């Protein structure tokens, strides 16, 4: 079983990235053929600062490696280091209907939030389809907001297979409902673009200040509170054991709970949770050439899979003559 997932280096990685994508990928490397990559082409839809993109790409790689991703147990690379993906994107563009892309809610959602529309943002699902289909991927772990894009990849693959013969594996989305959408400080999906994220490897002072910004309701201290509608509870449970979650739930339902104290507790838990990985990350960032070597090693492995797929595609569409 081949599992594939990627992450954008459009900003500093946050705990939503960790629980929604990074942690599941690190766990997958022990039980599947894992393809995990940094999607820097996708980041161009929102990031126009070249130095920031370079910095974020290396930083994201360091985060993964520090948190436990083993380049010998998976294929770990940067999207742009496999040029076949852009060639396949163009070929898939020509079997993708406008209506299919116009129905994608992610594009509409981004535009509604003030993100400037461009063709890259609109055609994002085709590049994502190329990422998936190029490596003949079986399982695509995604958040619920990305499920539609995997379905688009299936539609494109089916259209291509119907025109040119059986070529691509049809991918299946996999959603962990417990972490399908990690809430940000304001209850929306955690995202850098919404300014509601808690960074994984931030400094302690910034972490404390950020957690104090978690939006809570105005229920008085002496009244019961609703854990099911509380951003703080949703975040806290990510770092707590099942027994601790139930204990906290009971405290919510009884008078006397003070949100400010639980914000302090949450900040401490986040700091302690990522503590063992902080030193490893510092070591990696002090030797960036090693990070680049690891990514090149992964790109070579990725291309070994991508190139035969592209040879087959070129032959079938007729551009190989």
Q: Which residues are catalytic?
A: 110, 189, 192
Copy the structure tokens of residue 28. 């997958």
Nearest to 228 by CA among 253, 199, 254: 253
Neighbours of 148 (CB within 10 A): 16
Q: Which helix (H) or strand (E) holds 195?
A: none
Nearest to 232 by CA among 255, 258, 207, 256: 258
Task: Collapse the DSSP code of 6 into the 3-class scheme (helix H, G, I; strand E, B; otherwise coil) and give the result.
Answer: strand
* Cβ(69)–Cβ(109) below 8 Å: no
Closest CA to 54 of 65, 66, 64, 40: 40
CA 221 – CA 258 distance, rounded (Å): 6
Helices (H), the chain: 15-17, 23-28, 40-43, 50-67, 84-93, 98-102, 105-112, 119-122, 124-134, 147-164, 204-211, 231-236, 242-253, 259-285, 288-317
- Tokens encoding 57: 């790409």
CB-facing half-sphere around the CA of 278: CA atoms within 13 A: 13
> What number of helices (H) and strands (E) belong to the chain?
15, 5
Joined tokens for residue 203: 């400094």
Confirm if 60 and 39 have CB atoms less than 8 A apart: no
* Kind plus residue range of the DSSP H or E element containing 4: strand 2-7
Query: Token match 């699902």: residue?
Result: 125
């Amino acid at each position: 079983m081949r599992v594939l997932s990627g992450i954008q280096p459009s900003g500093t990685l946050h705990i939503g990235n960790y629980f929604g994508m990074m942690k599941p990928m690190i766990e997958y490397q022990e039980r599947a053929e894992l393809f995990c990559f940094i999607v820097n082409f996708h980041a161009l839809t929102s990031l126009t600062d070249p130095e920031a993109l370079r910095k974020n790409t290396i930083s994201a790689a360091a985060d993964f490696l520090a948190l436990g991703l083993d380049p010998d147990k998976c294929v770990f690379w940067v999207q742009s280091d496999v040029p076949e993906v852009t060639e396949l994107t163009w070929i898939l563009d020509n079997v993708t209907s406008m209506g299919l892309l116009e129905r994608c809610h992610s594009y509409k959602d981004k535009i509604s939030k003030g993100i400037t529309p461009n063709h890259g943002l609109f055609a994002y699902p085709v590049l994502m389809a190329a990422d998936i289909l190029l490596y003949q991927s079986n399982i695509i772990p995604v958040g619920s907001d990305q499920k539609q894009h995997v379905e688009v990849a299936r539609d494109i693959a089916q259209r291509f297979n119907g025109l040119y013969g059986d070529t691509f594996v049809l991918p299946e989305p996999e959603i962990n409902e417990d972490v399908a959408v990690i809430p940000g400080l304001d209850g929306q999906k955690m995202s850098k673009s919404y300014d509601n994220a808690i960074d994984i490897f931030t400094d302690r002072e910034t972490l404390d200040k950020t957690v104090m910004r978690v939006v809570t309701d105005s229920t008085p201290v002496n009244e019961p509170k609703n854990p099911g509608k509380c951003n703080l509870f949703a975040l806290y449970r990510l770092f707590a054991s099942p027994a601790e979650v139930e204990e906290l739930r009971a405290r919510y339902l009884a008078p006397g709970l003070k949100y400010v104290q639980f914000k302090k507790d949450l900040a401490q838990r986040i700091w302690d949770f990522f503590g063992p990985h902080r030193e490893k990350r510092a070591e990696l960032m002090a030797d960036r050439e090693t990070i680049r070597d690891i990514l090149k090693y992964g790109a070579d492995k990725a291309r070994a899979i991508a190139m035969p797929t592209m040879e087959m595609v070129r032959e079938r569409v007729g551009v190989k003559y």
